[in-house]
């Protein structure tokens, strides 16, 4: 009786091990079912999801115009103080004085990609970009100015 139990246990253990090994063997011989992505070799074909949060960017059109009115809603919405907007007074062609953005400072090193600034923006001036390879040698490079030099506010945004 003792021997029967003893060998029974060994048989059960070996059987359970073989069941697992069989599964491993299946995937070893069916290479097509392996799902590993070979980053960075697949960089050319790598496509991020539409809503992927890589970094905050400010799209400009062909005439170097952006949509940011400098309302600072994103600055208030940001939990970490990632965004800082410096404004200036600008004289329009018709003589009126208006507030315009001078620099839109975005500190990537402090950003947690919570998306609250994008949701807060009333004029869709900033969006989340898909770039995610952000490593640099100097942390100063992570402090970015999002508006292009000499860029202007797009017409029709501020109404």
Torsion of CA 97, 90, 128, 77, to 10 degrees: -50
- Using CB under 8 A as the binding rule, whether residue 112 contacts other proteins is answered as yes
Of the listed pieces 18-26, 39-47, 62-70, 138-146, which binds other proteins according to CB under 8 A?
18-26
Measured from the CB atom, is 31 or 49 closer to other proteins?
49
Residue 14 CB, nearest approach to other proteins (Å)? 9
Q: Is 9 in the site for other proteins (CB under 8 A)?
A: yes
Give min distance, CB of 6 to other proteins, in A.
Answer: 14
Contact status: 149 vs other proteins (CB under 8 A): no
Rounded CA gap, 127 and 16, in Å? 53
**Residue 138 binds to other proteins (criterion: CB under 8 A):** no
Between 45 and 84, how does the x/- string for binding to other proteins read (CB under 8 A)? Answer: ----xxxxx-----------------------x-x-----
Residue numbers at the binding site for other proteins (CB under 8 A): 9, 12-13, 16-17, 19-20, 22-24, 35, 49-53, 77, 79, 112-116, 119, 128
């Amino acid at each position: 009786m003792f021997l029967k139990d003893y060998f029974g246990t060994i048989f059960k253990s070996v059987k359970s091990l073989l069941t697992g090994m069989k599964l491993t063997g299946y995937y070893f011989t069916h290479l097509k079912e392996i799902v590993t992505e070979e980053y960075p070799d697949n960089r050319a074909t790598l496509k991020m999801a539409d809503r992927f949060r890589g970094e905050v960017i400010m799209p400009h059109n062909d005439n170097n115009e952006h949509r940011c009115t400098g309302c600072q809603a994103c600055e208030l919405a940001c939990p970490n103080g990632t965004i800082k907007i410096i404004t200036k007074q600008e004289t329009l062609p018709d003589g009126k004085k208006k507030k315009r953005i001078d620099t839109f400072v975005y500190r990537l090193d402090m950003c947690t990609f919570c998306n609250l600034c994008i949701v807060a923006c009333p004029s869709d001036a900033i969006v989340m970009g898909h770039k995610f390879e952000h490593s640099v040698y100097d942390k100063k490079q992570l402090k970015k100015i999002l508006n292009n030099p000499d860029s202007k506010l797009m017409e029709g945004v501020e109404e």
